[in-house]
Amino acid sequence: MRQLVRAACLAAVPLAMIASASAAAFTAKDLAAEEGRFAAYSVKNGMRAAFLEFFAEQSWLLRPELVDAKPWLRARPDPAIVLDWKSQRTVLAASGDLGFSTGPWLLRSKAEPNAPAAHGQFFSVWQKQQDGEWKVFIDHGVSHGATATPDRLPDTALVALDLGVHERGAAASSDDAEPQFVAAGSAAAYAGVITPRTRLLREGRLPIDGMTAIGEYLKSQAGQWAWTVKLRGVSRAKDFAYAVGNYTWQPTEGAARKGQYVRVWVREANGLTPTRWTLAAEVMTPEPPPKT
């Protein structure tokens, strides 16, 4: 009798909810732990060895254009540096196939160990592989001046977000976040997609976090924006999407500026109904000046 009751209860549970519960075994905090293992491997074995170990076979770097990461790394020697980093924010799709991690990095020269450390922020999209392992799929970042702790990584608490859109609730929705944003072609498009948790990364600046700081920053970004998408994808749960590409910004005054970007979009759940797409994070880097 108990078996019949249990079977009847299980039959009433949507398969998508069972799948979501299964996927939740790996969490956004676990993704931060994977990032920590990656960083520790880098400190111990070198940056090149760590990237080759923790990057997916098909993965991407921006140097400055998209390059196939592993062939690019294998063709170059290990740089004479010690590179360490730490997750500050992570996001995981409800379907457990894609995630995002960002936080500070710190670099020291092996040739000049007493020189001041370099600082910046990394931006990584992670992907679950067919064998169940998590690997880096897209990696980019920015550099900036020293933080309040110039000799070590900042001691900041992790902010981990596990998305909760069930596959059933999101199945009818496509990944339309990036196309709609690109079509707007202006900085005003950010107003409709940023939230208190949004983070923007820009070369030479500390992270720009939250609606107030981002709003102040966008006042300097007036003009016409054009985005060319090179790579994009979405989680099975349709709650996490990424886009990589090139931008051209024509300010109201002065010459046009070009560069590369990566964006991560998320849709959080309101019960079983997914909400609108919002911008979780974005990194933009300008093209380097032409060689003379």
Residue 9 reports pLDDT greater than 50: no
Alpha helices in the chain (DSSP H): 2-11, 15-23, 28-45, 47-54, 69-74, 167-170, 177-184, 210-218
Q: Which residues contact 119 (CB under 8 A, 6 or more apart)?
A: 104, 105, 106, 107, 143, 144, 145, 146, 147, 150
Q: Is residue 90 part of a domain?
A: yes
pLDDT in tens, 206-250: 999 999 999 999 999 999 999 999 999 999 999 999 999 999 999
Per-chain mean pLDDT for the chain = 89
Closest CA to 231 of 210, 217, 246, 215: 246
Distance separating alpha carbons of residues 34 and 50, to the nearest angstrom = 12
pLDDT in tens, 141-172: 999 999 999 999 999 999 999 998 554 444 44
- Domain extent, residue 147, equals 21-162
Q: Please tell me the pTM assigned to this model.
A: 0.88
Q: Is residue 2 part of a domain?
A: no
Q: Is residue 12 part of a domain?
A: no
Q: Is residue 276 part of a domain?
A: yes
Same domain, 146 and 26: yes
Instruction: Say what the pLDDT of residue 274 is.
Output: 63
Same domain, 152 and 212: no
Same domain, 239 and 183: yes
Same domain, 36 and 154: yes
pLDDT in tens, 246-263: 999 999 999 999 999 999
Instruction: Say what the pLDDT of residue 257 is.
Output: 95
Number of structural domains the chain divides into: 2
Q: Judge whether 115 and 109 are in contact, CB under 8 Å.
A: yes
Q: Is residue 8 part of a domain?
A: no
Residue 142 in tokens: 């920015």
pLDDT in tens, 28-84: 999 999 999 999 999 999 999 999 999 999 999 999 999 999 999 999 999 999 999
The Cα angle at residue 272 between residues 34 and 123, in degrees rounded to 5: 30
Q: Judge whether 178 and 229 are in contact, CB under 8 Å.
A: yes
Instruction: Say what the pLDDT of residue 165 is.
Output: 58
